[in-house]
Structure 1
Amino acid sequence: MPVHRPGTPRRSRWSAAGILLSVLSALSLLLTLPGAAQAAGGDDTPARGSARMGQGVVEHDGQGSLPPSGDAVQTEGVDVSSHQGNVAWATLWNSGVKWSYVKATEGTYYKNPYFAQQYNGSYNVGMIRGAYHFATPDTTSGATQANYFVDNGGGWSRDGKTLPGALDIEWNPYGAACFGKSQSAMVTWIRDFLNQYKARTGRHAVIYTATSWWKQCTGNYGGFAVNNPLWIARYNTSPGELPAGWGVQTMWQYTSTGPTVGDHNKFNGALDRVQALANG
């Protein structure tokens, strides 16, 4: 134990030490709070390739309740990515899921390692299935990403069980929400992707998005509604307001916490309408 000698400023010496310990303790606590790593100069950005359909919807629009049963005829579907790993497709089929979309690619740098099991597995149990591409407009051009998508699982064939590819265009999980693009530049990027996909496959791609993102990042552009089916993301009891141009959604992703694996969706129509979209 230190011995106090006359004239030694005991109180100020220990106060300084106490203050230092308090500051260090507070800093340690601060760094454990959500987002603190970024604020302190760290990086909690997710790994490239890890983005999944609807990831931004939960963060920006929130997670709502499951939709009520209604009179409209709708057909249940799911979308999956590498986050689900090997999927028990027979279980999903038996639960009433009749169609699915599987993440194939992201940017020009990522291919879903579970794609074969998910894409072929859903087909083998009887589902009508398609592939989707997570867009990263800040990395390469729309046409380049469309080619990458088609070359790595995003193609289409008229076999009655393959849906046209879907462009997942939503909040950027790796940076600025609109990928650093102006609204007009974003519309141009999307158009380039869609045009190239049509040139490669003969089909118009589905557009997956959320209304709030579409307004923010495209200025609520309505020019794609004529040809491209809309897959709207809204985790609530109804699809809500749709982006400009579309009077009705083709598909609606209504929750990311469904009763079974994957995000759950409603196709706006009976199973024969899903087949009609597959057949083109």
Structure 2
Amino acid sequence: MREVPGNERGGRWRTGLLLAVGATLPWGLITAGPAAAADYSRAADNYAGSQIEAHEGVHGSPGTSRADAADQTLGHDVSGHQGAVDWAAASGSGARFTYVKATEGTGFVNPQFGGQYDGAHGAGIIRGAYHFARPDVSSGAQQAEYFIANGGAWNADGKTLPGALDIEYNPYGDACYGKSPADMTNWIADFTSTYLAKEKRSALIYTSTTWWKLCTGNANRFGNTDPLWLARYATEVGELPAGWDKQSIWQFSRSGSLPGDQNYYNGPMGRVESLAAGPSAAA
């Protein structure tokens, strides 16, 4: 046996004993076996906003026609839930950007991702990938690396948006994945700082104001670093999470003229192109 560091809740470290799995100690105590595998049974049906709609519902009658649409750029997001997408038709219906679910936790890759992601690109739609967060199964850094390795990397081709972290209600249990507000905030920071270090781009954070208040205590530390992709199915954006004075993207409806969820980028097409191009792009 040798002494090794072991995790405790809250990030503290303690000394533990490294033993062979299933070994019997001299006094007859049986050591614990391997931890149960993470549950991904619902992963194919988890997508950006699936749990927000279930917990928060729809407010008013959101639609695709809005008085301020001239100041917004229409886009959408899809996942394996949509299956094969007719990207030419989506472009013809006004889609200018899209986000595609790539991964969940560290154990699920959207089987439709390649076709959806490449199909959007082929239709001339600026595309990005998003990751469905599972703070209950592994660290933020591990999930950022898994996301990058399975479609979430940024490409400086002017047609690829930086990756997005979809952080919302837990579809498998406790809404906040069993984490305190401080632990949840640190988990998000672990993901976003890893993505920034690896890709040299800040990840977008997708969430709802209600979930953010509940599970991070309305943390205000990300507003100056990570663009906000807000979910609220209503005729108005409403209150934003602390730290942000504006949203970059608003997911405003679960259905409309485009496949999947309907989104507005907060500004004209040139701003979408600037986000794709990155900070080193010529002015």
Sort the TM-score into its range (normalised by shorter chain). 0.7 to 0.9
Confirm whether residue 70 of structure 1 aligns to residue 39 of structure 2.
Answer: no
Indicate if the aligned counterparts of 1:46 and 1:174 stay in contact, CA closer than 8 A: no
Higher fraction of helix = 1
Secondary structure at 1:184's aligned position in 2?
A: helix
1:57 is displaced (CA, Å) by 1.6
Structure 1 gaps of 5+ residues are: 1-44
Task: Report the residue type matching 1:90 in the other structure.
Answer: A
Residue 48 of structure 1: CA displacement?
3.7
The structure richer in strand per residue is 2
1:46 deviates by 5.7
- Aligned mates of 1:190, 1:46 — CA distance in 2: 23
Aligned partner of 2:178 among 167, 177, 180: 180
Q: Deviations over 1:58-107 (max 9, x none)?
A: 11111242255223510111100000011000011000011000000000
SS of 2:172 mapped into structure 1: coil
1:54 to 30, 49, 54: 49
Q: How many pairs were matched up? A: 236
SS of 1:186's equivalent in the other structure is helix
CA deviation vs aligned residue, 1:191-219 (integer Å, no higher than 9, x gap): 00001101110000000000000000000
CA contact (8 A) 1:49 1:109 kept: no
Bigger Rg, which one: 1
Pick from 155, 160, 164 the counterpart of residue 153 of structure 2. 155
Instruction: Tell me if 1:273 matches 2:271.
Output: yes
Give the corresponding residue for 2:202. Answer: 204
Letter paired with 2:51:
G
Show structure 2 runs of 5+ residues with no match. Answer: 1-39, 279-283
Structure 2 counterpart of 1:110: 108
Q: Which amino acid aligns with 1:51?
A: N
Whether the aligned pair in 1 keeps the contact of 2:93 and 2:257 (CA below 8 Å) is no
Question: TM-score, normalized by length of structure 2?
Answer: 0.81
Q: Aligned-residue CA RMSD in angstroms?
A: 1.2
CA distance in 2, matches of 1:47, 1:251: 26
Letter in 2 for 1:147: E
**Secondary structure, counterpart of 2:144 in structure 1:** helix
Aligned residue in 2 for 1:19: none
SS in 2 for 1:204: coil
> After TM superposition, what 4+ stretches of structure 1 lie above 4 angstroms from structure 2?
none
The TM-score, its normalising length taken from structure 1, stands at 0.82
Q: Deviation at 1:131?
A: 0.1
Partner of 1:165: 163
TM-superposed CA distance for 1:259, in Å, is 2.8
Partner residue, 1:84: 82
| C-alpha distance after superposition, 1:209-267 (max 9, x if no partner) | 00000000000001000010000000000110000010110000001122332001000
1:144 maps onto 2:142 in alignment: yes
Counterpart of 2:71 in 1: which secondary structure? Answer: coil
Query: Where does residue 20 of structure 2 map in the other structure?
Result: none
Give the one of 217, 220, 226 matched to 1:219: 217
**C-alpha distance in 2, partners of 1:218/1:102?**
25
Query: Structure 2 vs 1, CA of residues 114 and 48 (structure 1 numbering), >3 Å: closer, same or farther?
Result: closer
Match of 2:23 in 1: none
